[in-house]
Structure 1
């Protein structure tokens, strides 16, 4: 017995040793996986050393703020020397860069007038994390000096920019993303309270950067050599980050409409099954009539009625399922009710099937448009019938697709002019119309929100002159501006609009065929 007990003890110890080894292996494997995940997440955001070297590279000399703008991509500080500082705060990445020539990043909103006329005096990066501080000084009307600190938290996954005033301590004035302890138990970002930096486990990694820095564009795969950190960050925003956001946005639109197609197809499948049941209306009528004839032969509790089918020329035998808990009369009424419902429902179901098939075709057309990048708005903003009518109208318009970035749309009558200006156009598109002469609205669609070259602007002006009453004149004045500055007065007639912030070009009229040759199309 002692030997058996000792053997059992040894076996238990061996099992425990194996379990301990397995647990250690599992823990090690978990640590490896977590490290890989963390490393993968860190790769998606700009390195600390890149931000650190950028602060050394950036010069704050004579940087006086003229205005500050904000959109969902970045905060833009425009200086009086016509240069710009961009603070990118995308969920995909976050970093600053400087541009000697302003360029469009989409629709912007003015923000933080407190910084207007202030002077940028210093830029620094915190030692413990990717938090950059921009120091602005300002002399108010009472000749009192104020110091504002723009705190850019380039920290994943939700970067933030906070405006604070430096007194005895940093007091928050405003922030792009505000939250309280209910949202974040560690700290709160709200106006009129002291700024608290976040507590993170991030550890900066310092190393030497070798130039040139190589950047691979996301759309074409082309490599770009950058001789400075700022050039690298600027190109990363233009050729990587913006493209990635655009592709993700387009994918979201396509996925939404593909889900709608799938829902409609499932609905159609269900309706066709209902139609199969409705097409049995004649069979339900025959069942009711045969039960009626055989009422005296049916007993309560009977499951099946076998009788002669008087509606069959060959007088074959028919088997009719009965409800055993119902009387013969109730069974007859049951089949009669099914017959009447099927007869009424067949017409309705056939109509619904036709409508669903029509809807599927519309949705498939929308999916194709979305895949080609012709839909840039969020799907939830428009209902299907409105969007379908809009796409049908677009197909009737005179369009010239230049490439993936630009498309020229020409309105040939008042209704088309009204449609392309008030419904098809987006704020970043360009609008053209002959001055003093009646004519078509010409729309230059910027499908990727990129600014057109001056040559393309001139061609659009020439087209606007051709599609006007001044077609056979020379030096025709044509006004052009972005759609954001075009307004349609309430209850005005189709095609009538007002506009501001426009420029005027004097051009020679050009027909569409000549324009195609000029564009090598």
Structure 2
């Protein structure tokens, strides 16, 4: 979710509560488009990070200090000259614009009190940090924008500062119902798109939420709304924005498993299917969200090569499997040739020389059938020809049966590696996957490369009844959990028919409650290839019933007696030990 006006309002309120009245003790510029201000106030010392990065503009309070360049950039030196030890007298947001103004008073070289403004614009690639005097003249900015770069507004020393035109968008906090209706009906767009195109600070996610609260399809045209429906929409629109007007925010991140999907300053009902985690401040939301996102992005980038290896091998094996199945289907007529040979030997004594077929009673089906014959061969030779065909197809069937089974197991193994890549959270998890692929011959070790030290550990959860549950992140961990960590009386869970993690529940000699069985099954469903299904069938059995065939690949097991249950994959209520 991009920074919208509501998030900026939340940050502004947080900064007002913590920084107003504080003095700027340090000013650093760790990156070319980033400032780090240290501010001392009556509430303590705070660090404010402001980034005007085109790819990820941010503003938030942090505990982390960043190293600065040996020589401070010019913009940093200018700020130190003017507002070092300056006092923050006000922090405001104009309307719901993605802009925060810091009003700062300081003493000039003559000891006179002066007013300055540091204006932070969080506007995607157009983000900037602009330093102005009391007359709204630009003293300097962290990014210079010339007329050649923008026909809308120059951001250069000496120019007047003004907020760029927002494409005739209205302030959602002050708009009347009549103006709301007229403005919305002018937009020949679907309802949700019309909302975020009509009002400042409203993002697509917020527009979708307003449609959900109003129980109106987001693709509906505003022109098709009756007066009553438009009144209802405006009422829900106003109610949703009331907390913003009153400064009441509920910072939250919505997670889909370990992955953060969205963050918001207000609760969003249309994400009720995701796990919601609330935070005391929006700064903590931003730090957590982007740290998690960056980690997941980094893991995906680092796993790209492994995915390519797996996907290439999968494609090759699936093509081979399809070909083998087609060839196997061709062997289904082998018994027909055997029966033809037997019937010719039984009834062929009366067949005339040069006959092209014969009629015989099939004593297997109690039916009369027509058997094709080669007219240049005798009955005995025709029978032998059919027996030869039968034996050839029989040998082909037996060989293909084994090859098909091996190819299918190879596909399941490769899919299990793909599932392990999907659930990997840390670089250590990828290290262990590389080791597994090296052991199974899918990737080569570099010459002289030693086996790496494995530090990745299984996921660890505690059931509502206090039982410890462990989930393998990959096949090596699955084997470790099942055959070296678990005791015979512990319980073992795995998704039926789908690749997935082994789940072990340590019983400590106690009987498991039904709730723990269900929670362990949910873990097995969640960490399987079928995790997106509404219901997943899970096999579970005591660990002593699980065996590993000799020579089998990592993670492959067999069991001949088990229980099964159907369960969803929602693990949001299960406590994870980190």
Q: Same fold (TM over 0.5)?
A: no
The two structures have a TM-score, normalised by structure 2, of 0.33
The two structures have a TM-score, normalised by structure 1, of 0.36
